[in-house]
Structure 1
Amino acid sequence: MKKSTAVNLDKLIEDFSLVEQKITDMKAKNNLLEVRLDETTRMFTLSQTKEKYLREERDELFQAVIGLQHTLKQQCELRVENEQLKKIISDLERQNNSNQQDSAANMERLKMEVAAQITEQQRDTAEVRGELQSKLEAKELEMQEALQKKESELEQMRKRMKEQEREKQTEIIKLQLEFSARLARAQTTTEKVPQQPVGSCTLPLDLYRRKLQYVQEQRQMEVESLRQRVKELEQKNTKSFPECLLKRRKL
């Protein structure tokens, strides 16, 4: 019985050593796996970060591609529009050249018409100027005759005014003499007849005085009227004759 329960220690130690070695190898493998797991986790995190960056870059590139596509589309549309504009400009240039040629032809025609009208106008102007010159010369002669006539009338009016002044002056002198004589007689009568009322003597004197004053006023009014008339005639003649001379000088 004791022989059957005996343990082989050497074998046990050897097995235990093997187990220990395996455990040690497994720990080493586990450590290596942990290192690899850490590295793999770090690489995974880095790959996730890189993937996120690449996604963002992809989105930016996608937006850039969309922008480029839009730009290319606009450029294509602009090219089409430029072609249309070039065609329109070419048509406008051809039309402008045609219009310039027509304008040049019309300008030459208008120049010829204007030259003909200027020649005709100059001829008409010369004829009108000659007619006006003749009319003005006739008018000038007529004005000179009228002026001489007016001057003669003015001279006659001056003479008549002087004659009227002399007549009025003579009449005034006569009235003054008559007034003085009556005044002297009245004074003599008053001295001889002192009892006669004063009113009966002064009444004729007042009448003669008023008559004399009235005659003097009438004379002054007539003389002033004649002077005004002479002045108006002189001004009228002075204005009309230089105007005629001015028109003649303009021609």
Structure 2
Amino acid sequence: MKDLVRAAHIGPGLAVVVLATLLAVADGLSPGRVLLVAAAVLAGQLSVGWSNDLVDEARDRTVGRADKPLASGAVARRTVLVACALAVLATVVLSLACGWWAGVVHLGCVASAWAYNLGLKSTWWSWAPYAVSFGGLVVFVSLAASPPELPPWWLPTVGALLGVAAHLLNVLPDLDDDAATGVRGLPHRLGPRRIPPVAAVVLVAATVVLALGAGLGSPASVAGLVVAAVLVVGVLRGAGRVPFVAAVLIALTDVVLLLAAS
């Protein structure tokens, strides 16, 4: 069971679940509705994680990814296939239980993530599924409310920008393994030296949009802009791991502001 859970990329998946749950709480959803949103997102993330390892099994074996249970033989392919199919079924049922339009939006987010796994990850458009899925997640949570309502334009915009930055920073540790198996998405074309500053620009853009949406005079927006400005110096001038860490801290700052503004 432990290896099956690991094959689902449970760490990043739970991070998305926590974000969706906090957004639902911030939007004032009832406790039952918050749990339903969290369950739908968890099911979707499990399907995405398992599908990723199923698609990448041959690649992962080629580069000797011992951390991938499917590629290392720690879990059987049939087991992952069955688990993935059940997760897809649960995603459909739980998403539509959140409301028709909310369900359609969330299923679109999950389909976008699957599109990344199935080929977009190796193209210039590798960033697009992250933008669609993270931006759509904000819309899904708002539509899951009773009555459903669309969020202001700037909230999904911030979500999309955070998604793009997450893609850039998430791929950074795997650049060499991906290159060995022919994966050439946007981060691979940028290269390890340019990823942190490009991610920082995207994250600062998210901070600015947040500040504009929440009102430039609010204490939270001013604090966010100041923190982002300080950290971007570390991204552009830092050495070693400093640019990467600074970019991640900007992302965390934006997530906090996003939740505060929801």
State whether TM-score is above 0.5.
no
Q: Which has the higher contact order (CA 8 A, sep 6+)?
A: 1
More helix by share: 1
TM-score (norm 2): 0.18
Q: Which has the larger radius of gyration?
A: 1
